[in-house]
Amino acid sequence: MSFQNPVFIPGPTNIPENLRKACDMPTIDHRSPLFGQILHPARAGVQKVLKSTSAEVFIFPSTGTGGWETALTNTLSAGDTVLAARNGMFSQRWIDMCQRHGLNVNVVETPWGQGVPADRYAEILAADTGHQIKAVLATHNETATGVRSNIAAVRQALDDAGHPAMLFVDGVSSIGSMEFRFDDWGVDVAVTGSQKGFMLPAGLGIVGFSAKAMEATKSAKLPRTFFDVHDMAKGYANSAYPYTPAVGLLNGLNTACGMLLDEGLANVFARHHRIAEGVRAAVGAWGLDLCAASPDLYSDTVSAIRTPEGFNATSIVTHAAEVYGVAFGVGLGEVAGKVFRIGHLGSLTDVMMLSGIATAEMCMADLGLDITLGSGVAAAQDYYRANRAERQQDAA
């Protein structure tokens, strides 16, 4: 691998120089007033990125996985029923965590390449007249398959059924890169991490809790210590943590939120969509297909690209690393060896993406696939030239 080349994995993402500098700071006393000048603006910035005016933001020294555990352990009790779709590796891991915590998981088996089946959720919720289901889980952007799910439709299913279950959303590879509306979608717990849309090193698990979720914490019986939001809230009230915080990463998060908000969230989302569309144009020029089953499911942060039957897609990733010093993502779980993944999120531009497309093209040609050098690059160039970036007014 080469430190000089950008990475094209779905996270951790490329780190802008000013964010690296923000994380690289002298040691401070994390129990002094100075820490509050980092902590409180970072939480407020995350709330704005979530498009919420009321979410309680908690930031743990952890990752998105810790965020999943925070959501479950603070709001549920052993034996509670949750509804979840298994449509990729990361939805599967959250289901596994639920089961390990003694929760009863109603699993809706869904083909990999499809999104969360809101219509099936609607049927199950309508039939649950006794309201045994306490939480509904949805992976907004399934990183393993490059599939975006319709969270607004899941909220509509809950509302149409008049069901009181909480809505938990994994936004690890979407928040900060794709449209996410905590308040408008009626999300109760949103989960993300520092290493994707926020363009930072891994190390922070970031969650937003609604008032309804905070109320549920009062009766939840699952054990929690490190991830107890009440302990964290008490610390925040004193501009502190209940234990040692990751001060440098929090300073970086504060800076990252400022960067996203200065660019304008609408512009951030438009940039990601434009870059992703260029990648999709290249995939079409190569004569290949995406794992995502239809355009309405296409992710703007990661594309999982199917290779021909009998070809080991992992060899593209290995070859790129060994020969060209460039990182792509391998297929995971059910699509291991069947797809390779191009991450196009975080600190990325059209020009940077063209280098990744060109590298993927060279790798496939080197490995004997019927790929015409320059075909994907030209298709992406045509798209980028025709859809140059234009700044727009950020939507509320």
71 Cβ partners below 8 Å, 6+ apart? 168, 189, 191, 207, 213
The pLDDT value recorded for residue 391 is 54
Please state whether beta strands 329-330 and 339-343 pair in parallel, antiparallel, or not at all (unpaired).
antiparallel
For 102-129, what is each residue's pLDDT tens digit? 999 999 999 999 999 999 999 999 999 9
In a domain, 287, yes or no: yes
The pLDDT value recorded for residue 395 is 47
Are 140 and 216 in the same domain? yes
pLDDT, average across residues 5-34 = 95
Q: What is the rounded CA–CA span in Å between residue 353 and residue 345?
A: 10
Are 56 and 117 in the same domain? yes
Are 278 and 253 in the same domain? no
The pLDDT value recorded for residue 367 is 98
Query: What percent of the chain stands above pLDDT 70?
Result: 98
- Whole-model pTM? 0.96
For 360-369, what is each residue's pLDDT tens digit? 999 999 999 9
Are 54 and 203 in the same domain? yes
245 Cβ partners below 8 Å, 6+ apart? 30, 35, 39, 61
CB 117 within 8 A of CB 63: no
In a domain, 222, yes or no: yes
CB 151 within 8 A of CB 122: no
| Residue of 163, 173, 172, 101 lying closest to 135 (CA atoms) | 163
Are 238 and 280 in the same domain? no
In a domain, 393, yes or no: no
Are 382 and 313 in the same domain? yes
Q: Is 341 annotated as a binding residue?
A: yes
- Classify each residue of 74-90 as buried b or exposed e, where b means 16 or more C-beta atoms within 10 Å of its C-beta: bbbeeebbbbbbbbbbb
CA dihedral angle for residue 377, residue 381, residue 383, residue 389, rounded to 10 degrees: 130
Q: What is the CATH number of the domain that holds 219?
A: 3.40.640.10
Tokens representing residue 197 in the block: 């849309």
Extended beta strands in the chain, E state: 56-61, 81-86, 104-109, 133-139, 141-142, 147-148, 166-170, 189-193, 204-209, 289-290, 302-306, 329-330, 339-343
Please state whether beta strands 189-193 and 289-290 pair in parallel, antiparallel, or not at all (unpaired).
unpaired
Domain count, the chain: 2
Range of the domain at 128: 17-262
Of 262, 286, 302, the residue at which a domain comes to its end is 262
Are 118 and 100 in the same domain? yes
Are 37 and 171 in the same domain? yes
Q: What is the rounded CA–CA span in Å between residue 367 and residue 348?
A: 27
Cα angle at 16 between 364 and 304, to 5 degrees? 30
Q: Average pLDDT of the chain?
A: 96
The pLDDT value recorded for residue 396 is 47
The pLDDT value recorded for residue 3 is 84
In a domain, 148, yes or no: yes
Question: Which residue type is seen at 135?
Answer: A
Of 262, 297, 328, the residue at which a domain comes to its end is 262
pLDDT, average across residues 17-45 = 96
| N- to C-terminal Cα separation, the chain | 41
In a domain, 12, yes or no: no
Are 78 and 174 in the same domain? yes
For 236-280, what is each residue's pLDDT tens digit? 999 999 999 999 999 999 999 999 999 999 999 999 999 999 999
pLDDT, average across residues 294-298 = 97
The pLDDT value recorded for residue 388 is 85
pLDDT at 42 over 50: yes
Of 203, 233, 262, the residue at which a domain comes to its end is 262
Tokens representing residue 207 in the block: 């969650």
Are 121 and 247 in the same domain? yes
In a domain, 183, yes or no: yes
Are 380 and 254 in the same domain? no
In a domain, 396, yes or no: no
Are 361 and 376 in the same domain? yes
For 161-218, what is each residue's pLDDT tens digit? 999 999 999 999 999 999 999 999 999 999 999 999 999 999 999 999 999 999 999 9
Write phi, then psi, for 137 (nearest 5 degrees): -100, 140
386 Cβ partners below 8 Å, 6+ apart? none
In a domain, 9, yes or no: no
Q: What is the CATH number of the domain that holds 316?
A: 3.90.1150.10
Q: What is the rounded CA–CA span in Å between residue 42 and residue 99?
A: 33
The pLDDT value recorded for residue 392 is 55
Query: What percent of the chain stands above pLDDT 90?
Result: 97
CA distances from 210 to 35, 58, 82, 184 (A): 25, 11, 18, 12
